[in-house]
Amino acid sequence: MASQHPVIGPGHTFASVTDKISSIVLTKKTPVGWFFGFGIAFSLLMMLLATVSYLLVKGVGIWGVNVPVGWGFDIINFVWWIGIGHAGTLISAILLLLRQQWRTSINRFAEAMTLFAVACAGIYPILHMGRPWVGFYWLFPYPNTMGLWPNFRSPLIWDVFAVSTYATVSLLFWYVGLIPDLATLRDRATNRAVKIVYGFFAVGWRGSARHWANYEMAYLILAGLSTPLVLSVHTVVSFDFATGVIPGWHATIFPPYFVAGAIYAGFAMVLTLAIPLRKAYGLEDFITLRHAENMAKVMLATSLIVAYGYLMEAFMAWYSGNGYERFMIWNRMTGPYAWSYWALIFCNVVVINTLWWKSLRTNVVYLFIVSLVVSVGMWLERFVIIVTSLHRDFLPSSWGNYRGTPFDWSMFIGTIGLFLTLFFLFIRFLPTISIFEMRTLVPAAQPDEGKA
Amino acid sequence: MSSALYGLLAEFHAPDEIVKAAEAVHSAGYRKVDAYTPYPMEEVLDALHLHETHVPKLALTGGLLGMAGGWGLQYWSSVVEYPMNVGGRPFFSWPAFVIPTFETTVLGAAIATVFGMLLLNGFPQPYHPVFNVKSFATASRDRFFLCIESRDPLFDLQKTRELLRRLGASEVSEVAP
């Protein structure tokens, strides 16, 4: 503990923490770099808009999906985005319950990342319905003119419930955490219109002890509720595959393997966002090397679980003695998509294990590169699971190959644009670091140990 | 007595000062007291004996309602309203129903927790007398405030003000209602 980097730079007071974080939002001068980044992100978002418009006109035929690969980029990207979201809830809920003080400066934007990632993920299954405006009756239980109800025995319906609950609870958690900070912005804003807008969302928060008592309890309960929820979400996502009979999907290891992969991918995205953010806004005192190193350790640990999953998939295919299973894994390693399998192993098993060295874990430039490699690796993992399992199924007569069309790619890159657009708006208009929780870390607040 | 006054608001600069002041005010017998702090302080809650909260009960109620609602919806729609044979599985496929029920339980509990907390705190509350004191804006930055309301039976403008001064308040302001 003693030799580690601190969770907050030296010399900070209640006032300096408040002013530093709130000034990023309340400044009149938006940094030029912000406009540059936002411009790129927004252009990509417009590409998504164009793609989706064309998709709705022409139908899902513009994608590369066809028999036998009926689930392509849409499901790959859905799982990829949902997985990324998991780190936000893990940081805000599980690390809160485990009393990990270092979570404090990263939970706010990690939660925002969760919301935006879930928004990106949600687009895919909805659009995969082809005509989403008529397809809702089998997703949500509402009285419709056909008198039909969803089939609750289907994992796809479990997914609808899991993801929509996850999105709602994440939003509530995020908003509750924001209330005291919105009150700070209301009190510090000089422009009357700005004051009114923040004041509206701060709902009249004034830091009353009576309110804090209810607030702290509510926050703790939300953390307790989110903890099993976040583990359930990717478990249910993995059921989409594991309850099917396709070799390569039908495996009991899927739920823990998917949850670990989600946390792994999510922490990579938190690092991808945190490293430029702390540099651009001079937040090195709040997001310190301690945070970078701890996140690297979480990535390393979860990567080992994921690697164990890869190993077990291969082992079980051999040990099962099932010809289809053995063919599946052999085809995965040596077939037409072998490049994706070995690229995945390179990203998620080889590169990540360099983080055993402390000097690399505390090198933020290296961590940034690794985090991008991990994001690519986790995308490839879903590509491998979905495409290599489907393209060679039980009947050789229906074998085929799959590739994403330009529209698949423009939609994928477009959702990255959506994600980044929302994130740029978030860092401009809301405090990226929880101010009231940072106040509990300054030396003046430390006599009262025991803040959860 | 003085209905033209909401109470007296004392300003403190350090966390330990507000804790001591809250303890002293509570032991002096004042009960219509509230503290305003920039971050949650366990010691202040201890000093003012404010630990009681109804949020957990609301969370439990919301969770149970969500559970009953989710389970009931699945049972009713799959067994009563439109029983449909899907792959020969029983109409009442309870193991499959557990998963959406878990989700609706969490959803019900979370919604009850958040909106329960907001309602218990009386939010949204656009107006409150303490905002009339100009320096109160620093309560969300680095200052700690203690307010004794005039409806407290022990409240006396002179004596209460003196007590707050003695406790080290840097400033004691009258709060217009």
Q: The CATH number of the domain where A320 resides is what?
A: 1.20.1630.10
- Categorize the per-residue pLDDT at A222 as very low, low, confident or very high, splitting at 50, 70 and 90: very high
Q: How far apart are CA B109 and CA B58, in angstroms?
A: 8
Q: How far apart are CA A108 and CA A430, in angstroms?
A: 10
CB contact under 8 A, A152 and B100: yes
- To probe the interface with A, which of B26, B39, B144 has the most A CB atoms within 10 Å? B39
**Comparing C-alpha atoms, which of A115, A80, A34, A26 is closest to residue A277?**
A34
pLDDT at A359: 93
3-state helix, strand, coil in chain A (%, to 5): 75, 0, 25
Q: How far is B55 from chain A (nearest CA, A)?
A: 6
For A13, the closest of B40, B107, B142 (CB atoms) is: B142
Provide the 8-state DSSP code for B152. Answer: S
CB pairs under 8 A between A and B: 203
Q: How far is B8 from chain A (nearest CA, A)?
A: 15
* pLDDT per position as a tens digit, A245-303: 899 999 999 999 999 999 999 999 999 999 999 999 988 889 999 999 999 999 999 99
Tell me what the mean pLDDT of segment A74-99 comes to. 90
Nearest chain B Cα to A206, which residue? B36
Residue A54 has pLDDT above 90, yes or no: yes
ipTM confidence:
0.93
Tell me what the mean pLDDT of segment A166-180 comes to. 94
Residue A3 has pLDDT above 60, yes or no: no
Residue A2 lies in a domain: no
Contacts of A180 in chain B (CB under 8 A): 39, 140
Residue B84 has pLDDT above 60, yes or no: yes
- Categorize the per-residue pLDDT at B134 as very low, low, confident or very high, splitting at 50, 70 and 90: confident
pLDDT at B1: 46
Contacts of A442 in chain B (CB under 8 A): none
Contacts of B57 in chain A (CB under 8 A): none
The range of the structural domain enclosing residue A94 comes to 14-443
3-state helix, strand, coil in chain B (%, to 5): 55, 10, 35
Tell me what the mean pLDDT of segment A1-13 comes to. 74
Contacts of B100 in chain A (CB under 8 A): 152, 157-158, 161
pLDDT at A119: 95
Q: How far apart are CA A266 and CA A273, in angstroms?
A: 11
**Comparing C-alpha atoms, which of A347, A349, A350, A343 is closest to residue A371?**
A347
Residue owning tokens 């203690």: B146
Q: Burial, A190: exposed, middle or buried (Cβ in 10 Å; 0-12, 13-18, 19+)?
A: exposed
Contacts with A85 (C-beta within 8 Å, 6 or more apart), sequence order: A113, A114, A115, A117, A118, A121, A166, A170, A262, A266
CA atoms within 13 A on the CB side of A253: 17
pLDDT at B3: 60
pTM of the model: 0.93
- Categorize the per-residue pLDDT at A132 as very low, low, confident or very high, splitting at 50, 70 and 90: confident
Length of chain A: 452
Whether residue B64 lies within 8 A of chain A, CB to CB, comes out as: no
Residue A452 has pLDDT above 70, yes or no: no
Q: Burial, B166: exposed, middle or buried (Cβ in 10 Å; 0-12, 13-18, 19+)?
A: exposed
HEC sequence for B82-143:
CCCCCCCCCCCCHHHHHHHHHHHHHHHHHHHHHHHHHHHCCCCCCCCHHHHCHHHHHHHCCC
- Categorize the per-residue pLDDT at B112 as very low, low, confident or very high, splitting at 50, 70 and 90: very high
**Comparing C-alpha atoms, which of B151, B153, B148 is closest to residue B10?**
B148
- To probe the interface with A, which of B13, B46, B121, B144 has the most A CB atoms within 10 Å? B121
Average pLDDT, chain A: 91
Q: What are phi and psi of A380, to 5 degrees?
A: -60, -35
pLDDT above 90 covers what percent of chain A? 71
For B40, the closest of A153, A186, A215 (CB atoms) is: A215
B146 vs A11, more confident:
B146
Provide the 8-state DSSP code for B56. Answer: H
pLDDT at A193: 92
Residue owning tokens 């939010």: B123
Q: Confirm if A388 and A343 have CB atoms less than 8 A apart.
A: no
Q: Two tokens at A337?
A: 């998509």
pLDDT at A7: 83
Domain count, chain A: 1
Contacts of B136 in chain A (CB under 8 A): 206
Average pLDDT, chain B: 91
Residue A241 has pLDDT above 90, yes or no: yes
Q: How far apart are CA A181 and CA A174, in angstroms?
A: 11
* pLDDT per position as a tens digit, A360-374: 999 999 999 999 999
Q: How far apart are CA A85 and CA A110, in angstroms?
A: 8
Nearest chain B Cα to A153, which residue? B96
pLDDT at A410: 96
Whether residue B160 lies within 8 A of chain A, CB to CB, comes out as: no
Which chain B residues in 69-128 lie under 8 Å from chain A, judged by CB atoms? 70, 73-74, 77-78, 81-82, 84, 86, 89, 93, 96-97, 99-100, 102-104, 106-107, 109-111, 113-114, 116-118, 120-128
